[in-house]
Amino acid sequence: MPARAECVSLGPDSDLPFPMIDSVSAALFARAERVLPGGVNSPVRAFRAVQGTPVFISRASGAYLYGADQTRYIDYVGSWGPMLLGHAPPNVVAAITEAATRGTSYGAPTEGEVLLAERLIALYPSIEKLRAVSSGTEATMSALRVARGFTGRDLIVKFEGCYHGHADFLLVKAGSGAATFGVPDSAGVPRATAENTLTLPYNDTNALRHLFETRGKDLAAVIVEPVVGNMGVVPPEPGFLETLVELCTSHGAVSIFDEVMTGCRVAQGGMQARVGLRPDLTCLGKIIGGGLPLAVYGGRRLLMDRVAPLGPVYQAGTLSGNPIAVAAALATLDRLDEALYARLEAKGARLQHGLELALSKTGLDACVQRVGSMFTVFFAKGPIRCWEDAKRCDVQRFARWHGAMLARGVYWPPAQFEAAFLSDAHSDDDLTKTLTAAEEAFAESV
């Protein structure tokens, strides 16, 4: 264990000076940077978007993270979405522990995988068959391969500001003008790969309709975050998702809802349940794995029966349907009911109202956008409808606000273009403390 921090580090419930950013994390980060690119195993964790030093976490419980120096933080990252129940829910920990005593991986089918598939199919009527994988990236990559294999077409459509994982053909940004050939958004992505991905503005139903009118017969799929979390929280405008599904159906393209973040977050049945739509394919992840590496893609039997070994679309995975991840998933699903979502909605509404009230006292150009228990404080005048709106944000002011929140024991996503998440473990007192910290931090970042 690293030496204890020299600085005074206190949790949000102390009445002494707010905690410093702890030196234990700083020392760990210096070591990490020598052996991990950027010191992290996923870029956003490096706090570069807020010009900060990442807090190294030693443990988590309920609504709280504990830094390497044991400073307690009220957590609004929730592992980027999975921790709907809060950290280390006892029933999930017990299920993981029990499963581990029976082995960690078999590479063979198990009853648990069948149970999980049956439970998810019951929650998502659009899913007739599914395949478990180990990450959201695998889920979206595989769903798009199925769409291309089924249609025999190459072109796929995504929306600016949406993120679907790091498969080459999804790390693409809009070329000049709307719906032109994509250009790579990462080194290492061949231009030829990017050119098969067209990018449109989110919520731009007219642009989508025009694309189908001109290129509809060439389109394999349209993939969408039905509520965007990855440019900050941007809800779909009325008719956008409905038109997307209709146009796909009428032109023989595959509609794909990437519900890796929204699945079991905005409703048990995801955003498709809230809007009453049935996309051809759905990707789920994060919450359904209970914090373990598990995601799924699934949908119409006609499509899924194209997947190996039944059909010609190849997809495989050593740890797909891992028994411990499946045990965590089943234990998590056991806790989902309408009362839980009612509690999350009430907490989300209280937090949004409190943040908006605090903002109203500052005159800051900022807005709060929320769907259920996922939300974002945008440092720009709202509404934020698409990436063109989102990129107007004052990211430096967000960074100052983030640092002021962290110093007050509130752990907010370290990037403006991310979603924050509430859990069932956040108490009224946690929300009160958060709103007090936010009001002070807004005043500091004016």
Rounded-to-integer distance, Cα 368 and Cα 359, Å: 9
387 forms part of the interface with ligand KE4 (CB under 6 A): no
Instruction: Reply yes or no: is the peptide bond before residue 17 cis, omega within 30 of 0.
Output: no
Instruction: Reply yes or no: is the peptide bond before residue 383 cis, omega within 30 of 0.
Output: yes
346 in helix, strand or coil? helix
Nearer to ligand KE4, 44 or 207 (CB): 44
Give the dihedral sign, CA 11/12/18/23: positive
| Calculated CA dihedral for residues 70, 75, 80, 84, nearest 10 degrees | 120
Rounded-to-integer distance, Cα 253 and Cα 148, Å: 9
Please say if 163 is a catalytic residue.
yes
Residue from 230, 332, 369, 445 binding ligand KE4 (CB under 6 A): 230
Rounded-to-integer distance, Cα 314 and Cα 326, Å: 22
CB of 2 to ligand KE4, least distance (A): 24
158 forms part of the interface with ligand KE4 (CB under 6 A): no
Rounded-to-integer distance, Cα 320 and Cα 129, Å: 15
One-letter identity of residue 274: R
137 forms part of the interface with ligand KE4 (CB under 6 A): yes
Residue from 39, 54, 67, 136 binding ligand KE4 (CB under 6 A): 136
Binding mask 39-78 for ligand KE4 (x = CB under 6 A): ---x-x----------------------------------
Of 341, 332, 335, 416, nearest to 372 by C-alpha is 341
Kindly determine how many residues on this chain lie close enough to bind ligand KE4 according to the rule CB under 6 A. 18
Residue from 389, 418, 424, 430 binding ligand KE4 (CB under 6 A): 418
165 forms part of the interface with ligand KE4 (CB under 6 A): yes
Please say if 411 is a catalytic residue.
no
CB of 435 to ligand KE4, least distance (A): 24
Residues with Cβ within 8 Å of 245's Cβ and at least 6 positions away in sequence, in order, are: 255, 277, 278, 279
Q: Are 359 and 374 in contact (CB under 8 A)?
A: no
Nearer to ligand KE4, 164 or 400 (CB): 164
Please say if 202 is a catalytic residue.
no
- Hey, which residues does 299 pair with through a beta bridge? 129, 281
**Annotated catalytic residue: which of 163, 297, 341, 411?**
163
142 forms part of the interface with ligand KE4 (CB under 6 A): no
Residue from 62, 285, 348, 403 binding ligand KE4 (CB under 6 A): 285
Number of helices (H) and strands (E) in the chain: give both, helices first: 14, 16
Q: Near ligand KE4 by CB under 6 A, which window of 11-19, 58-66, 116-124, 254-262?
A: 254-262
For residue 25 the two structure tokens come to 């994390």
CB of 101 to ligand KE4, least distance (A): 27
Residue from 164, 300, 426, 433 binding ligand KE4 (CB under 6 A): 164
366 forms part of the interface with ligand KE4 (CB under 6 A): no
Q: Applying CB under 6 A, which residues contact ligand KE4? A: 42, 44, 80, 135-137, 140, 163-165, 225, 229-230, 258, 260-261, 285, 418
Catalytic residue set: 163, 258, 286
